[in-house]
Chain A
Amino acid sequence: MAIKDLPREECYLPGSAACPGCPATMAMRIVFKAIGKKMVMIVPACCTAVIESIHPKTSFNIPTMNIAFEAAAAGASGVEAGLRKQGREDITVVAWAGDGGTYDIGIQALSGALERNTNFIYICYNNQIYSNTGIQRSGATPYAAWTTTTVRGKTEFRKEMGEIIQAHHIPYAAQACVAYPEDLYKKVKKAKSIKGPKYIEIMAPCPPGWRFGMEKTVEMGTMAVETGAWALYEYENEKVTFNGKSKLILDGKIERKSIEDWIKYQGRFRHLFIPKKDVKRLKEIEEHVDKIWERYRACYL
Chain B
Amino acid sequence: MTSVMIDTGNYIAAKAAVMCKPDVVAAYPITPQTTLVEGIANYVGTGEFKGEYICVESEHSAMAACIGASSTGVRTFTGTSSHGLLLMHEMLHWAALARLPVIMCNINRVIGPGWNIWTDENDSISQRDTGWLQFYCSSNQEIFDTVIQAFKLGEHEKVSLPVMISYNAFILSHTSMPVYVPDQKDVDNFVKKRIPKWKLEVENPITFGNIILPHEYELVRKEMQEAQENALKLIPEIAKEWKKKFGRFHGDLLEFYKCEGAEYILLSMGAIGAESKVAIDNLQKEGYKIGLARVRVIRPFPIEEIVKLGKKADLIVIDRNISVGMEGALFSEVKSSLYGKTDAKVHGFIAGLGGKDVTFGDIETMCKKAMKGKTKDHQVWYGLEEV
- CA of A91 to CA of B202, assembled, Å: 8
B57 / chain A contacts, CB cutoff of 8 Å = 108-109, 111-112, 115
B58 / chain A contacts, CB cutoff of 8 Å = 74, 108-109, 112
B200 / chain A contacts, CB cutoff of 8 Å = 40, 63-65, 79
- Interface residues in A44-59 by Cβ distance below 8 A to B read 49-50, 52-56, 58
Contact of B74 among A53, A60, A85 (CB under 8 A): A85
Supposing A53-B211, A64-B207 touch, asked if A81 and B64 sit within 8 A by C-beta, the answer is no
A205 close to B (CB within 8 Å): no
Whether the pair B74, A86 counts as a contact (CB closer than 8 A) is yes
A77 close to B (CB within 8 Å): yes
A75 / chain B contacts, CB cutoff of 8 Å = 64-65, 67-68
Residue of B nearest to A80 (CB): B68
Whether the pair A52, B210 counts as a contact (CB closer than 8 A) is yes
B122 / chain A contacts, CB cutoff of 8 Å = none
Q: What number of A residues sit within 8 Å (CB to CB) of B? A: 46
A76 / chain B contacts, CB cutoff of 8 Å = 68
Quote the shortest CB–CB distance from A277 to chain B (angstroms). Answer: 43
Contact of B65 among A39, A64, A66, A77 (CB under 8 A): A77
B71 / chain A contacts, CB cutoff of 8 Å = 65, 78-79, 82
Contact with A along B179-223 (1 / 0, CB 8 A): 000000000000000000000111011111111110010000000
- CA of A109 to CA of B57, assembled, Å: 7
Residue of B nearest to A36 (CB): B202
A240 close to B (CB within 8 Å): no
B249 close to A (CB within 8 Å): no
- CA of A40 to CA of B203, assembled, Å: 11
- CA of A109 to CA of B90, assembled, Å: 15
Whether the pair B212, A55 counts as a contact (CB closer than 8 A) is yes
Quote the shortest CB–CB distance from A113 to chain B (angstroms). Answer: 8
Contact of A55 among B26, B52, B210 (CB under 8 A): B210
Besides A68-B64, A81-B26, 7 other CB < 8 A contacts?
A63-B206, A77-B54, A77-B61, A77-B68, A81-B68, A108-B58, A109-B60
A-contacting residues of B (Cβ < 8 Å)? 23-24, 26, 51-52, 54-58, 60-62, 64-74, 76, 90-91, 94, 200-202, 204-213, 216
